[in-house]
Amino acid sequence: MDSRPNSDLIRSITQSEIASFVSDGVVHLPGILDIDWIYFLRTALEEVIDDPNGLADLTELGRNLTANEGFNVLSDSDVSSGRFLSGVDHWKDNESFAAFAKFSPLPLVAAELMNSKSVYLYEDSILVKEPGTSEKTAFHQDLGYFHLEGEKICTVWAPLDEVDSETGSVVYLRSSHKSNKVFKPNWFVANESLPNTEGNEIPKIEMDNKEMDLIRFDTRPGDLIVHHAATIHGAGANHSISRRRRAVSVRYCGDGVTYKIRPGAPLKAHHENVRTGDPVVSHPDCPLVWGN
Ligand SMILES: O=C(O)CCC(=O)C(=O)O
């Protein structure tokens, strides 16, 4: 039985929102997603959290990177009473995450913002900062992690809780998607880049730097934030002692995108069978979710 919420948007995307995405590389879409999707995802998310192998503990990763590599983990305190939990590709073996990535309004949102006839699902990610999580999300650019090249690539970030600067809102460097640069992927809780990666070093950015054009949004469940894959972004710690910060990101690509194998970036199984320059076409591991 299929109990997923329906795939209609609560409202249309406005021309001004499309213009913001194009010029700023990010847009906040308040009140656009049926709240039933949030209840649906919260249930699915708790099952993944309860599974001991469901998510990576990035708080633990940060401790190991500090102890073993001497990295400067981006943390507001030496002690984190919460945990930063993260995972990718849940849609591949979890029906609820597959329903959200493929049959919710998200593919339509990606198609409209990217002005793309076709939309393919690249991956999904869970990003949970439990109350008292000291680790920040290091500033990064998604494109450096993706084995893709092209203009129409984006991430849709869906908050499952109210999120603000106390609990770790995401911070974006306005218009940074226009730099024409690909930045090396990093460890997500530290600025150091992943081994054997290629590209530019990501600039050092402090979340509260008033000289830079940093933007953040207070969000509620039912809102979406969509950013271009080349937009630089990071996120704060969760300073609250009682409020969770649960979010799901789904990453899509569209017309004209080709594969580009980026050394050192995390590979997926089907990347073994593609070469740089091959066009993205529908594949069970990167399915067409909108258009034809
Ligand atoms: O939620 C976060 O902490 C970071 C989100 C992010 O970097 C992403 O979804 O691309």
Q: Which of 123, 135, 141, 155 to mutate to test the pocket of ligand 1 (most atoms within 8 A of CB)?
A: 155
pLDDT of residue 74: 87
Give nearest CA residue, ligand 1 atom 8.
249
142 lines ligand 1 (CB under 6 A): yes
pLDDT of residue 75: 83
> 213: helix, coil or strand?
coil
Q: Which two tokens stand for residue 108?
A: 């339509």
Under the banding of pLDDT at 50, 70 and 90, the label for residue 70 is confident
Whole-structure pTM value: 0.96
Report the share of the chain in percent with pLDDT over 70. 99
Q: Which of 61, 127, 189 to mutate to test the pocket of ligand 1 (most atoms within 8 A of CB)?
A: 127
CA dist., res. 225 & res. 79, Å (int): 30
Q: Give 220-275 pLDDT, tens digit per residue.
A: 999 999 999 999 999 999 999 999 999 999 999 999 999 999 999 999 999 999 99
| Cα(187) to centroid(ligand 1), Å | 13
247 lines ligand 1 (CB under 6 A): yes
Which spans in 27-120 are helix H?
A: 35-50, 58-64, 95-103, 106-114
133 lines ligand 1 (CB under 6 A): no
CA dist., res. 147 & res. 274, Å (int): 10
Q: Which of 157, 172, 217 to mutate to test the pocket of ligand 1 (most atoms within 8 A of CB)?
A: 157
Report the atom number in ligand 1 closest to the C-alpha of 168: 3
Average pLDDT rounded to a whole number, residues 33-48: 97
Is pLDDT of 80 > 90?
no
The domain ranges of the chain are 17-275
Under the banding of pLDDT at 50, 70 and 90, the label for residue 73 is confident
Q: Give 185-233 pLDDT, tens digit per residue.
A: 999 999 999 999 999 999 999 999 999 999 999 999 999 999 999 999 9
Report the atom number in ligand 1 closest to the C-alpha of 84: 3
pLDDT of residue 3: 80
Average pLDDT rounded to a whole number, residues 118-136: 97
- Do residues 147 and 265 touch, judged by C-beta distance below 8 A? yes
Is pLDDT of 1 > 50?
no
pLDDT of residue 69: 86
Which superfamily, per CATH, for 17-275?
q2cbj1_9rhob like domain (2.60.120.620)
Report the atom number in ligand 1 closest to the C-alpha of 245: 1
Least confident segment among 64-78, 81-95, 237-251:
64-78
Bridge partners of 235, per DSSP, are 137, 170
- Do residues 235 and 140 touch, judged by C-beta distance below 8 A? no
Q: Give 98-109 pLDDT, tens digit per residue.
A: 999 999 999 999
CA dist., res. 150 & res. 276, Å (int): 12
Under the banding of pLDDT at 50, 70 and 90, the label for residue 2 is low
| Cα(229) to centroid(ligand 1), Å | 11
